[in-house]
Structures are given as C-alpha cells and as structure tokens.
C-alpha cells in the first residue's frame, strides 16, 4: 500500500521553497528599499528619495572607484574570454593522452578558496618585485576567470561534432580556417555568455581585488569595505544597489543574447554548459 507522507506533499515543498527564497532575497530587498530612504537611517523608512544616489555620484572617490571596477571587469572579460575559449578548443580537440588530466585540472581554480588565490597572487607579485597597482588586479582577475570561460565554452564545444570541421576541410578550408569560419561562429553564444558572466564576477569581486590593489584608485568593492570600517552610511545601500543592477544586467544579457539574435539555444543552458 502506497502512502504519501506530509513531507512528500507538494504543499510542503512549495512552502519550503518559498521560505528559502525569502531567506535569500529579503536582505537584498531591504538594501534596495533603504537605498531610497529619505532619512539617514538604516532601521526606519521615512519617505522615498534619491539623495543617497546623488551622494554616491557626487563623491569623486566613489565615482572613480566605480569606473575603475568597470574598466577592470571589461579588460578581464575580453582577455579571459579569448584565452579561455582558445584553451577550451585545445582541450576538447586535443587528441593526446594528457587531455583528460588537463580537463580535470581546469576544475582546480573553481574549487580553490578565493582567499587562497588572492594570497597566492600577492605572494607571486611580491616575489617578482611587482608593485601592486591597477594591472595586478587585472592579472589576478584574468588568471582566476579563465577556468570559468573554459568550462562554459567546453560544454558547448563538446556538443559540436568533429564532422563539422572535417566537412569544412573537405571543402578546402585549412585547419585554422575550419576553426575560424565554422567552429567559432557555432560557439559564439557560449563565448558571449561566458564573457558577460566573467564581467559580473570581476565587477563584484572583493577578495582578489583586496589582496592585489595598490595605492591607486581602489575598485568599488574594496572602497565599500573601507567605508564600512568607519561606520555604515545609507550611501552604502545605494552603492550596493548599483553594483547589483550592473551584475544582474550582465547575467541577464548572457541569458537573453542568444535568443535576441535568433538562436535556438537556451541562454541558461549555454551559460551552464548543458546545451546540446
């Protein structure tokens, strides 16, 4: 006789799911709500105002940090996407006995605690005598991001058979020509999605930026940390909301771009490497 326990009933699962979402998103909603608070309070909401966004934009230090974070994220996105895509093609199309081991090694940066990566980057720059600056942050972000691009692009590439490239070569294309004219266009949804994901990760990153930033303009996450050390101002809510909007926009574009250009791929599946 089959009996259904209370735990297995859909109503319980819906309630449990709703509670999880509340736990995850209510704090974020509170930050967004209080970023529009007209009063200098983090507990009492008293009218709506854009004064904290105005304070954020009128503060040259915060504004410069915002532009610095965007610049770091853009450079990281471009370089890491190119290198990660080339690495993914090499790993999937390599026909050597070490390709399987190399694919496993690509997972190591993903499971390594970011603080370990930050300390490692700091030690390397110190040993080489490289002064911490804007470019040390960029190098650290690129190194950490390549694996993410490789995983996303590799998932898409694994679903594309060798017959596509072989057909192009039978029609007269060189090995490089088949990659450039056939393989890369087929990969572009995953490449674009991976690049936008890297932009969001780099823009929000604190740990790597903290360990590799110098005396120049600090990235926005590091600047926020410096601010809250001396007290929490409602301006922090506005800064956090702006950062969240930028990151969510990047991820949303990564999901929507394949559809916007008439591709049948699911943006979510491309981003997670499960398309195909």
Number of residues that this document lists for the chain: 276
Q: Helix or strand or coil: residue 201?
A: helix
DSSP letter assigned to residue 274: -
Mean pLDDT (the chain) is 80
pLDDT at 142 over 80: yes
Considering only 77-91, 179-193, 251-265, which range has the smallest mean pLDDT?
A: 251-265
- Using the predicted structure, report yes or no on whether residue 183 has a pLDDT greater than 50: yes
Alpha carbon distance 218, 64 (integer Å): 8
pLDDT beyond 50 at 276: no
Range ranked top by mean pLDDT from 4-13, 123-132, 215-224: 123-132
| Residue 266 pLDDT | 53
Average of per-residue pLDDT across 7-17: 72
Do residues 238 and 53 make contact, with C-beta atoms less than 8 angstroms apart?
yes
Return the SS3 of 215.
coil
Number of H helices, E strands in the chain: 14, 0
Higher-pLDDT residue of 30, 107: 30
Q: Where are the domains of the chain?
A: 60-272
Question: Any bridge partners for residue 48, and if so which?
Answer: 37
The model's pLDDT over 96-136, given as tens digits with 9 standing for 90+, comes to 556 666 667 777 777 888 889 899 999 999 999 899 989 99
Answer positive or negative: Cα dihedral of 154, 276, 201, 18.
negative
- The CA distance from 37 to 51, in Å, is 8
Pick the closest to residue 203 from 49, 71, 43 (CA basis): 71
Q: Which 8-state DSSP code applies to residue 17?
A: H
The pTM score is: 0.81
pLDDT for position 96: 57
Sequence-separated contacts (24+) of 32-41 with Cβ below 8 Å: 32/237, 32/241, 32/244, 34/234, 34/237, 35/234, 35/237, 35/238, 35/240, 35/241, 37/234, 37/237, 40/233, 40/234, 41/234
Q: Determine the Cα–Cα distance for residues 3 and 5; give it in Å rounded to an integer.
A: 6
Right CATH for 60-272 from 3.90.45.10, 3.40.50.300, 1.10.3720.10, 3.30.70.100: 1.10.3720.10
Are the C-beta atoms of residues 197 and 148 closer than 8 Å to each other? Answer: yes
Per-residue pLDDT, 161: 65
Q: Give residues with Cβ within 8 angstroms of 228, minimum separation 6.
A: 236
Rounded distance between C-alpha atoms, residue 41 and residue 191, angstroms: 44
């Amino acid at each position: 006789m089959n009996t259904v326990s209370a735990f297995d009933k859909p109503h319980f699962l819906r309630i449990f799911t709703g509670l999880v979402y509340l736990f995850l998103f209510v704090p974020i909603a509170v930050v967004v709500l209080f970023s529009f608070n007209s009063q200098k309070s983090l507990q009492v909401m008293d009218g709506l105002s854009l004064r904290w966004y105005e304070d954020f934009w009128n503060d040259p230090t915060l504004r410069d940090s915002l532009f610095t974070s965007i610049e770091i994220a853009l450079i990281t996105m471009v370089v890491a996407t190119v290198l990660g895509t080339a690495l993914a093609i090499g790993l999937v199309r390599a026909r050597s006995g070490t390709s399987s081991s190399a694919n496993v090694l690509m997972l190591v940066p993903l499971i390594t605690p970011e603080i370990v990566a930050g300390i490692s980057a700091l030690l390397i720059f110190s040993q080489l005598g490289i002064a911490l600056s804007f470019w040390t942050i960029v190098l650290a972000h690129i190194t950490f991001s390549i694996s993410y691009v490789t995983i996303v692009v590799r998932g898409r590439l694994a679903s594309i058979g060798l017959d596509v490239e072989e057909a192009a070569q039978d029609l007269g294309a060189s090995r490089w020509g088949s990659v450039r004219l056939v393989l890369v266009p087929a990969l572009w949804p995953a490449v674009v999605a991976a690049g936008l994901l890297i932009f969001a990760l780099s823009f929000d990153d604190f740990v790597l930026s903290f360990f590799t930033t110098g005396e120049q303009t600090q990235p926005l996450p590091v600047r926020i940390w410096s601010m809250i050390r001396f007290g929490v101002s409602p301006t922090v809510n506005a800064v956090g909301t702006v950062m969240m909007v930028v990151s969510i926009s990047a991820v949303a574009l990564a999901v929507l771009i394949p559809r916007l250009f008439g591709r049948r791929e699911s943006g979510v599946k491309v981003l997670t490497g499960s398309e195909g």
